């Protein structure tokens, strides 16, 4: 359940008319050693973000058909990608990132998790010049769009996603939506301050400030037309998902692996997972399979 303080910030944001202007990230690709390390650690099985990675892995699996070729735009240290790849062992994944240091961490993650169905490439998601038109079955991306400089670059990334995707392909793109109040942004960044490195808190705050608005995301996703719907969390678009309308049945393997990963979460992580399930479900985006 959200704490009373969190609920208050959500309600205040929902009631606020004036929007805090966007403050772009200091850098687009993440290259700072302390930042990349902190982000990688937070995403590991024992980290703060493990529950969100399992959540998005289940949701993403509902757009991935058996044997699909899937591109992940801005894979970072591949903590998210490794979980999705584990849930879909018969699919083939291509992780793209502009940062050499992130790609090196991604390689470590894949080895540590024993994941063999992922290849990694250095590229910019707004210019996928090495990728042919209609060459992938699914496009996924998690928590990366807010790194793009402006809406022109956001549009360029969506154009590239559409170009490389086969007609009718699957889409699961999720990121923060910008809260309207700076106090709300600071609250979320600092909510777990005591349990995370200061650099992670600072980067979280930067991400909240750099998030695109819901309207920006809706505009950018317009290039996919009726092939996608916009999903969002309850009360405020704290998280926004651009998801293809087509559903793939969730595979038995995906269910089994998700259950195993859920069982390995700590009690705190499980509570966070269930809160996230409710946060999206009350916004109209249900999780199709509960791993408990
Ligand atoms: C916050 S991390 C998210 C990583 C991963 N998707 C996750 O959910 O854990 C954002 C990643 O996007 C990468 N990135 C930012 N802008 C990019 C661009 N224009 N092209 C490719 N990668 C980019 C950064 O280097 C970073 O690794």
Output the CA 29–ligand 1 centroid distance in Å: 6
Question: Taking a C-beta distance cutoff of 8 angstroms, is the pair 99, 36 a contact?
Answer: yes
Query: Whose CA is closest to atom 20 on ligand 1?
Result: 124
Whether 85 is covered by a domain: the verdict is yes
Cα–Cα nearest to 57, from 26, 28, 79, 30? 79
Distance between CA atoms of 232 and 158, rounded to whole angstroms?
19
| Domain boundaries, position 202 | 4-281
User: What pLDDT does 281 receive?
Assistant: 97
Taking CA 96 as the corner, what is the angle to CA 135 and CA 92, rounded to the nearest 5 degrees? 50
Return per-residue pLDDT of the chain as tens, 292 residues.
Answer: 778 999 999 999 999 999 999 999 999 999 999 999 999 999 999 999 999 999 999 999 999 999 999 999 999 999 999 999 999 999 999 999 999 999 999 999 999 999 999 999 999 999 999 999 999 999 999 999 999 999 999 999 999 999 999 999 999 999 999 999 999 999 999 999 999 999 999 999 999 999 999 999 999 999 999 999 999 999 999 999 999 999 999 999 999 999 999 999 999 999 999 999 999 999 999 999 999 9
Q: Is residue 287 part of a domain?
A: no
Domain annotation covers residue 286: no
- Sorted by sequence, the CB contacts under 8 Å of residue 75 that are 6+ apart come out as 81, 95, 96, 97, 102, 106, 120
pLDDT at 3: 87
CB 10 within 8 A of CB 236: yes
Which pair of structure tokens corresponds to residue 96? 């793209």
- pLDDT on residue 8: 95
Pairing, β 239-244 against β 228-232:
antiparallel
Ligand 1 pocket list (CB less than 6 A): 28-30, 43, 74-76, 79-80, 96-99, 102, 124-126, 142-144, 147-148
Mean of per-residue pLDDT scores for the chain: 96
Question: Among candidates 190, 195, 131, 191, which has minimal Cα distance to 157?
Answer: 131
Task: For residue 90, give both structure tokens.
Answer: 């018969």
Distance between CA 49 and CA 52 in Å, rounded? Answer: 5
Judge whether 291 lies within some domain: no
Instruction: Encode pLDDT of 231-256 as tens digits.
Output: 999 999 999 999 999 999 999 999 99
Ligand 1 centroid vs 222 CA: distance in angstroms?
Answer: 22
What Cα–Cα distance (Å) separates residue 195 from each residue in 57, 78, 171? 24, 22, 33
Could you tell me which of 172, 142, 171, 170 has the C-alpha nearest to residue 78?
A: 142
Domain for residue 16, yes or no? Answer: yes
pLDDT of residue 1: 73
Model confidence, pTM: 0.97
Where b means 16+ CB within 10 Å and e means fewer, 151-180 reads bebbbbbbebbbebbeeebbbbbbbbbbbb
CA of 5 to the centre of ligand 1 (A): 30
Residue to substitute in 27, 36, 39, 98 for testing ligand 1 pocket (most ligand atoms within 8 angstroms of CB): 98
CB 230 within 8 A of CB 218: yes
CATH at residue 176: 3.40.50.150
Query: Ligand 1: which of 32, 96, 97, 173 to mutate, most ligand atoms within 8 Å of CB?
Result: 97
Q: How far apart are CA 204 and CA 202, in angstroms?
A: 5
Domains in the chain: how many in total? 1
Query: What per-residue confidence (pLDDT) applies to 208?
Result: 97
**Cα 135 versus chain centre, distance:** 22
Specify whether the CB–CB gap between 151 and 219 falls below 8 A.
yes
What letter does residue 243 receive in the DSSP assignment?
E
Q: Kindly state whether residue 289 falls inside one of the protein's structural domains.
A: no
Residue 274 located in a structural domain: yes
Q: Is residue 292 part of a domain?
A: no
């Amino acid at each position: 359940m959200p704490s009373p303080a969190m609920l208050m910030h959500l309600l205040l944001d929902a009631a606020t008319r004036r929007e805090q202007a966007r403050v772009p990230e200091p850098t687009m690709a993440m290259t700072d050693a302390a930042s990349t390390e902190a982000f990688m650690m937070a995403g590991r099985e024992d980290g703060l973000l493990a529950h969100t990675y399992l959540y998005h892995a289940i949701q993403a699996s509902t757009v991935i058909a058996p044997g699909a070729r899937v591109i992940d735009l801005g894979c970072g240290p591949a903590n998210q990608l490794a979980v999705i790849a584990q849930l879909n062992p018969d699919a083939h994944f291509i992780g793209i990132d502009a940062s050499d240091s992130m790609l090196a961490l991604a390689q470590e993650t894949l080895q540590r998790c024993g994941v063999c169905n992922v290849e990694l490439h250095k590229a910019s998601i707004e210019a996928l010049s090495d990728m042919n038109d209609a060459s992938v079955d699914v496009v996924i991306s998690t928590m990366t769009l807010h790194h793009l400089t402006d809406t022109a670059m956001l549009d360029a990334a969506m154009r590239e996603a559409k170009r490389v995707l086969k007609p009718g392909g699957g889409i699961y793109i999720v990121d923060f939506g910008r809260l309207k109040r700076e106090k709300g942004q600071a609250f979320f960044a600092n909510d777990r301050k005591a349990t995370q490195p200061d650099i992670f808190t600072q980067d979280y705050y930067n991400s909240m400030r750099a998030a695109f608005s819901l309207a920006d995301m809706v505009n950018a996703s317009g290039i996919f037309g009726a092939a996608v719907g916009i999903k969002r969390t309850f009360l405020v678009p704290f998280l926004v998902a651009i998801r293809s309308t087509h559903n793939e049945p969730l595979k038995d393997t995906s269910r089994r692996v998700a259950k195993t990963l859920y069982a390995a979460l700590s009690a705190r992580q499980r509570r966070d997972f269930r809160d996230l399930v409710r946060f999206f479900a009350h916004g109209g985006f249900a999780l199709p399979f509960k791993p408990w």
